[in-house]
Structure 1
């Protein structure tokens, strides 16, 4: 992509974000993209706080809920690359207490693919407990699987973070947040913008979230729906602006979620696809194992069909429904992903939480970028190899 085209993409995306904010549809947006390891978009619009507050900048931090699961999966793959974690190793080999109630057969791969059978939280879990690492690990270790590991898939909305995070803690001696910083953030130069729990010094540059229709959308789910009954069993642990704006929550190490900038998240995914300023996080072989289809079927918690890799959703609508794209989105509409066919890494973070049919902003911005890129079949990677791959329509994931 030539310099003139890069400038055009940046200009078009900046204008689109400004239009979305000026219309009142959005309050604050960041979008970033890389193509073949080169940044082509770093744009933002809106305010970093209530109306009349200061402007949102490219370095403003935004809590993006389950977009952070992509950070957790990436951290696990980087540790696997170093021989510290094995996909088919039982979690209890790292965390013996997790073996209780027949969970000794649950492997790291089961957790990454949401097939472990432990998506549920106790009905009375509180927001204060949610922020206490030892309490939540003890609660998760004490759960009984809802199905035989590996026989079904169901979105592990919260538990994904503690199961993988405690395994990371046991093998590295670091908290998940410290491990993310050492193994992912520091090599890429984004350790100040890629977080699970925030350092207290970062709170003043973190934009508060505001409710659009997301909390109402959660409340509209039938009480019997598996996602609402099991994954988020009471309003205290709903992924809303009220929860995300709490100081204790933002400081808590919660690897099911993440606080980030769009440019840091996009840079991480770009470094999964290939080199970014000389840094590549995974070998091509490891990437193929992580981003290929691992499960493809009905999700027991989300009640729809989803393709999943090892820790990533594949072919979401924001990814143009193409199964060669992988990543994760979060409650309220943030997302970060990599498109292997195009060599594109993309992230969008937002301060206004929106769900259901109104959640179209990330797709709109990603479509704008894709429309300006060379056709995947005609472009070449820097090494001169053509990219290609199948495509498949997929529905939205939970976050």
Structure 2
């Protein structure tokens, strides 16, 4: 496995040297063993603090994979059922014809409530009760279960509130206890970083203009005040709040988590082989009703490696985040890998480059 480590280090160094990236981490597991843990560049250009393997990054929607993993761990021990009707544990959510929406619908972005008010603020997003009330009172864009459309922020509150109602534990704490703790990654996997830990995070910087047009689908699901910019994501309140459509991780911890979905990692296996089939098998192949793209989803994850047609890599499942971070696993090869970065990009060129190297060398 020296080749994969060397190739990835060379790629990371060149990405930083060229200015394409400021700081990044890349980690790879194969059959439960870590085979690469690569870092390059600066975590905080303002102070010169370098990236280390233990530097957490705010990874935007790549955190959806963390939230989905929590659901599967809870389902594994019988605490949750995918076909649970959300309104059965959260009665307010049943308003406006949403009573038949299930947890599985939420996990596959099929609950019909992707939209948020245009004047939403970061403070609103950090207020769990306010966000849940907004979503519970929302009129669905389509009948739940009849289509899929990207629930950019609402995914996290939908799934997280079901977790809270069923377990009695807030989603960030549940994730820490059920996933990060058993993986011995409590300081590197978060759905909201404790305030005392915020100084460890990489500082994000904008690498592109983020100016969506008024009236666009983009602003309908992620209003202008909560767009995924560096200024937004470097806020202490945003980083420390539970916003479980996003998350914070190191690449090595995210790769470790996905590896533990595939099989044992240092004696820890998050789910059974039988549940892995449930987790990784594509169950949605449809046109996204928000953005119009092809959406191929398993139960909680996007299917297909970045940069490839989902049909070409149907054994890969994971999630990408705005700005370019990414984490995934491949049931065919036993490989899990993650990329975390702090220079926000408009595309996933870096992650696609890394994915191609991983595919060639593992």
TM-score by length of 1: 0.88
Root-mean-square deviation (CA, aligned residues, Å) is 1.3
Q: Deviations over 1:298-353 (max 9, x none)?
A: 00112111200111000142567411100000000000000111111010000000
Q: Which residue of the partner structure matches residue 51 of structure 2?
A: 56
2:253 equivalent to 1:258: no
Size of the alignment, in residue pairs? 360
For the residue of structure 1 that corresponds to 2:141, the secondary structure is coil
Q: Which residue of the partner structure matches residue 275 of structure 2?
A: 286
1:196–1:255 contact (8 Å) kept in structure 2: yes
Q: Give 1:224 shift.
A: 3.4
Greater Cα shift, 72-81 or 316-325: 316-325
For the residue of structure 1 that corresponds to 2:36, the secondary structure is strand
Instruction: List gaps (5 residues or longer) in structure 1.
Output: 1-5, 374-399
1:319–1:339 contact (8 Å) kept in structure 2: no
2:349 equivalent to 1:349: no
Instruction: List gaps (5 residues or longer) in structure 2.
Output: none
- 2: CA distance, partners of 1:319 / 1:133: 36
- 2: CA distance, partners of 1:283 / 1:297: 28
Runs of 4+ off more than 4 Å: 318-321
2:107–2:155 contact (8 Å) kept in structure 1: yes
- 2: CA distance, partners of 1:24 / 1:227: 28
2:324–2:344 contact (8 Å) kept in structure 1: yes
- 1: CA distance, partners of 2:250 / 2:302: 20
Q: Which residue of the partner structure matches residue 386 of structure 1?
A: none
For the residue of structure 1 that corresponds to 2:135, the secondary structure is helix
1:226–1:300 contact (8 Å) kept in structure 2: no
Q: Which residue of the partner structure matches residue 257 of structure 2?
A: 268
- 2: CA distance, partners of 1:260 / 1:318: 22
1:115–1:149 contact (8 Å) kept in structure 2: yes
Q: Which residue of the partner structure matches residue 172 of structure 2?
A: 177
Q: Deviations over 1:171-193 (max 9, x none)?
A: 11211111001110111110111
2:71 to 69, 73, 76: 76
2:120 equivalent to 1:125: yes
- 1: CA distance, partners of 2:24 / 2:138: 38
Q: Which residue of the partner structure matches residue 320 of structure 2?
A: 329
For the residue of structure 2 that corresponds to 1:306, the secondary structure is strand
- 2: CA distance, partners of 1:103 / 1:338: 33
Q: Give 1:108 shift.
A: 0.3
Q: Give 1:227 shift.
A: 2.6
- 2: CA distance, partners of 1:96 / 1:7: 54
Assess, with a 3 A threshold, how the Cα gap between structure 1 residues 316 and 370 changes in structure 2: closer, same or farther: closer
Q: Which residue of the partner structure matches residue 131 of structure 2?
A: 136
Q: Give 1:125 shift.
A: 1.2
Assess, with a 3 A threshold, how the Cα gap between structure 1 residues 222 and 182 changes in structure 2: closer, same or farther: same
2:266 to 277, 293, 299: 277
2:98–2:143 contact (8 Å) kept in structure 1: no
1:232 to 222, 233, 247: 222
1:91–1:107 contact (8 Å) kept in structure 2: yes
Q: Which residue of the partner structure matches residue 305 of structure 1?
A: 294
Assess, with a 3 A threshold, how the Cα gap between structure 1 residues 320 and 100 changes in structure 2: closer, same or farther: closer
2:97 equivalent to 1:110: no
Q: Deviations over 1:186-237 (max 9, x none)?
A: 1111011100110112111101100001xx2x41x44333232x2013x211
For the residue of structure 2 that corresponds to 1:47, the secondary structure is strand
For the residue of structure 2 that corresponds to 1:337, the secondary structure is strand
For the residue of structure 1 that corresponds to 2:329, the secondary structure is strand
TM-score by length of 2: 0.97
Q: Give 1:7 shift.
A: 2.2
Q: Deviations over 1:159-180 (max 9, x none)?
A: 0000110111111121111100
2:306–2:351 contact (8 Å) kept in structure 1: no
1:340 to 331, 344, 352: 331
2:96 equivalent to 1:101: yes
- 1: CA distance, partners of 2:309 / 2:350: 13
Q: Deviations over 1:361-390 (max 9, x none)?
A: 0111121121112xxxxxxxxxxxxxxxxx
